[in-house]
Amino acid sequence: MSRKNKDSQAEQSRSVQTDGRPAYLRSLRPRGESLGAVKEEAKEGAKEVAPVEQEQERETTEDVELYRWRNWLLPRRPLVAVFVIGSFIGCIALAYWAVPQLFFVAVISLIFLNRLAPYLFPVTFILSEERVGYRTFLARDIRPWDAFLAYKEFPDGVLLTHDIRTFRGRMKEGIFLYYYEDCSNKDEILRIVSSKLKPLDEALTSGHKQKEEKGGLRAAIRRIRRFRSKD
């Protein structure tokens, strides 16, 4: 009888201890339930992220390619090509002579190749509805059309340029789209570029007119000076 009494007292003490736990310990869920809840929350989060990823994929798929061509500038002028390649080799040799470390020479070579890649290697130019640019070995430059202000024609290609009226615009590098050597694709390139951007002269004059139409102290001073010069 004494053993039974001891067991009953132990059970009562355990129940009292469990009932007397703090509130924050009582509200804890078992381990299995907590893992299940975490999994459900993860699934809900994945469902919320999925539409965003689908929208991004739709945006990328909507960008339709309009025209693509390949060009290689190196063989066009053999003497210039020999000079460029010789200069490149000379710079690498000078770098190795100054700092005879293979890692340093490799880094310098990659930097030079990245800058000279559009000239040394064949270049693939791409014109699409949203973007324009080129791809080649060790170099790539693809930007949206909105990144440029206007275009300027040259005998061998088209330059996509920024706002050259500002210092920042002059410092930014544009993209030059080279025609074929016989200029057989000139009309097609100009047709697409002119549908996206304005000629440089027209863009600069329109931007100047917009600045003049804006109000403010500077615009008023310009009008007064113009009125005085006419008198």
| Model confidence pLDDT, tens digit, residues 78-125 | 999 999 999 999 999 999 999 899 999 999 999 999 999 999 999 999
pLDDT, residue 204, reads 83
CA-closest candidate to residue 165, choices 221, 205, 196? 205
Q: For 188-216, what is the mean pLDDT?
A: 77
Does residue 127 surpass a pLDDT of 90? Answer: yes
Q: For 211-230, what is the mean pLDDT?
A: 63
Cα end-to-end span (Å), the chain: 126
| Percent of the chain surpassing pLDDT 90 | 50
Are 125 and 178 in contact by the 8 Å Cβ rule? The answer is: yes
Q: Cα dist. 143→35, 147, 175, 190 in Å?
A: 46, 7, 9, 18
**Please, what is the average pLDDT of the chain?**
78
126 pLDDT tier (thresholds 50, 70, 90): very high
- Write down the pTM of the prediction: 0.62
Instruction: Name residue 108's amino acid.
Output: I
**Beta sheet of 65-71, edge-to-edge order:** 65-71, 123-128, 131-136, 139-144
Eight-class DSSP state of 183: -
Q: At 26, list the tokens.
A: 């009582």
Q: At 18, list the tokens.
A: 């469990």
CA-closest candidate to residue 162, choices 177, 149, 144? 149
pLDDT, residue 218, reads 65
Q: Tell me the range of 22-31, 44-53, 67-76 where mean pLDDT is highest.
A: 67-76
Query: Residues 167, 172, 173, CA angle at the centre, nearest 5°?
Result: 145
Eight-class DSSP state of 11: H
Among 9-18, 79-88, 127-136, 170-179, the minimum mean pLDDT is found in 9-18
16 pLDDT tier (thresholds 50, 70, 90): very low
Q: Residues near 129 by Cβ (< 8 Å), separated by ≥ 6?
A: 62, 63, 64, 66
Which helix (H) or strand (E) is 212 found in, with range? helix 200-213
Eight-class DSSP state of 99: S
